[in-house]
Amino acid sequence: MTVEGGFYMFSHSTNTASFFSVLIAALIFSLSLAGVAAAQTNTSLGTGALQNNTTGEANTAIGVDALFRNTTGSDNTALGNRADVSEIATF
């Protein structure tokens, strides 16, 4: 809407909408990383390596689908395509 003199009355609404869009996107992104934050000491190289890991720590998986089934196991090392271990308790 333009008023006399060429000023826009609602020019701030676009900036406000952009700000809230960025804020919502940042919130969604940070929430999506919550599971990753619980397992930050893992190393993986290969498509699908450690893909299902949720809280397991200190794992190393190298190869396609290496440690694919591991979700909570810790201190595992798998080398090779489809190298996988059953989940066992860490002592």
| 4 or 20, which is more confident | 20
Is there a contact between 59 and 45 (Cβ–Cβ < 8 Å)?
A: no
pLDDT, tens digit, for every residue of 31-86? 666 555 555 689 888 888 898 988 888 999 988 889 999 988 999 999 988 888 55
pLDDT, tens digit, for every residue of 60-71? 998 888 999 998
Whole-angstrom CA distances from 39 to 15, 20, 42, 64 are: 37, 30, 7, 20
Cα of 2 vs its chain's centroid, Å: 45
